[in-house]
């Protein structure tokens, strides 16, 4: 995983400094999630995580890896209705400064529905999220996010080693009635220990609003199960 990360980081850096423009940025995403199980049930001999609480932190390094541009902290609750559907809500505090403009602050209230289907060869997951943004320096807004993900588990002796994945998320602004952002992720998910999991990915963002229009970079997401 470390070798893959270094190769991807080197490649993205070379491409970024070769072709970057004023409206582009090269970034590094770092996310960590602490998952606390609140309610667990047993059905047909299998344990089901019915209600979970997640504490999250985010640090993004941008301006071509030169400085922090985005810091976030949040909390969410997720309720698993059954093996295919879950619902939840979350709160997130964000401060950001992607350019030399003054720092931006906002609160986010999110409500989401996730649908998931697992097969022997792949998993498909789709998250519908309504996002209410309370912004200090700008007008408040409401957006709809749709995140579609495909995972392809690689197994040996019926044990999953890792899962390559492709994820695409689109953003729709209810005020302007336009799609304004698309995030594409390509990466690898792996369960490192029974409690610790990690995603390593490449990201490409296309954004029609704001000073930064195109973003490329690498990221890592850590998930730690507290209980």
Return the higher-pLDDT residue of 13 and 42: 42
Q: What is the pLDDT of residue 1?
A: 56
What are the extents of the domains in the chain?
2-225
pLDDT band at 157 (very low <50, low <70, confident <90, very high): confident
Model confidence over 123-140: pLDDT tens digits?
999 999 999 999 987 889
- Determine which helix (DSSP H) or strand (DSSP E) holds 5, and give its type and residue range: helix 2-19
Separation of alpha carbons 146 and 86, rounded Å: 15
Average pLDDT over residues 179-189: 97
Three-state secondary structure string covering 13-74: HHHHHHHCCCCEEEEEEEEEEEEEEEEEEEECCEEEEEEEEEEEEEEEEECCCCEEEEEEEE
CA distance 84 to 90: 20
pLDDT higher than 90, residue 212: no
> For the domain bounded by 2-225, which CATH number is listed?
2.40.160
pLDDT of residue 13 exceeding 60: no
Helix (H) or strand (E) holding 10: helix 2-19
Q: Percent of the chain beyond pLDDT 90?
A: 69
Counting Cα atoms < 13 Å in the Cβ hemisphere of 220 gives 12
Whether pLDDT at 15 is above 70: no
């Amino acid at each position: 995983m470390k070798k893959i990360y270094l190769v991807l980081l080197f490649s993205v850096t070379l491409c970024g400094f070769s072709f970057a423009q004023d409206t582009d940025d090269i970034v590094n995403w770092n996310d960590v999630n602490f998952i606390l199980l609140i309610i667990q049930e047993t059905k047909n001999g299998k344990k089901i995580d019915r209600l979970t609480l997640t504490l999250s932190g985010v640090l993004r390094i941008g301006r071509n890896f030169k400085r922090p541009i985005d810091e976030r902290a949040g909390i969410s609750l997720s309720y698993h209705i059954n093996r295919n559907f879950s619902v939840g809500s979350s709160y997130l505090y964000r401060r950001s400064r992607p350019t030399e403009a003054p720092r931006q602050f906002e609160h986010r209230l999110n409500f989401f529905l996730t649908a998931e289907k697992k097969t022997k060869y792949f998993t498909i997951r789709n998250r519908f999220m309504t996002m209410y943004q309370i912004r200090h320096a700008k007008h408040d807004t409401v957006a709809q996010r749709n995140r579609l993900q495909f995972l392809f588990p690689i197994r040996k002796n019926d044990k999953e080693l890792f899962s390559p994945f492709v994820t695409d998320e689109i953003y729709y602004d209810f005020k302007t009635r336009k799609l304004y952002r698309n995030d594409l992720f390509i990466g690898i998910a792996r369960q490192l220990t029974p409690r610790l999991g990690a995603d390593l990915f490449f990201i490409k963002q296309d954004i029609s609003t704001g000073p930064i229009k195109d973003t490329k970079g690498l990221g890592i997401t850590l998930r730690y199960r507290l209980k």
